[in-house]
Amino acid sequence: MTETEKSSRLSFNDIDYARDENNNEIKVEAPKDIERLEEISEMRNEQRKL
């Protein structure tokens, strides 16, 4: 794999980080498979229509 091929890849992990009300960092499991991303996209689209 060339450097160009490496730099053109995009990847995600299933852990997001958030802050709670006390400013503590917490890990949130957030699957990013195609099915889940499509589901989120559909939900957001419906919310925009309201």
Tokens describing residue 40: 């989120």
Q: How far apart are CA 32 and CA 15, in angstroms?
A: 9
Coil, helix or strand at residue 30: coil
pTM summary value: 0.52
Structural domains in the chain (count): 1
Q: When comparing pLDDT for 50 and 7, which is higher?
A: 50
Q: What is the pLDDT of residues 12-48, one digit of tens each?
A: 899 999 999 999 999 999 988 999 899 999 999 999 9
Tokens describing residue 17: 């980080």
- Is the Cβ–Cβ distance between 16 and 31 less than 8 Å? no
Which pLDDT value is given to residue 22? 97
Range of the domain at 19: 3-49
Secondary structure of the chain: what % helix, strand, coil (to 5)? 40, 20, 40
Which pLDDT value is given to residue 10? 76
Which pLDDT value is given to residue 4? 59
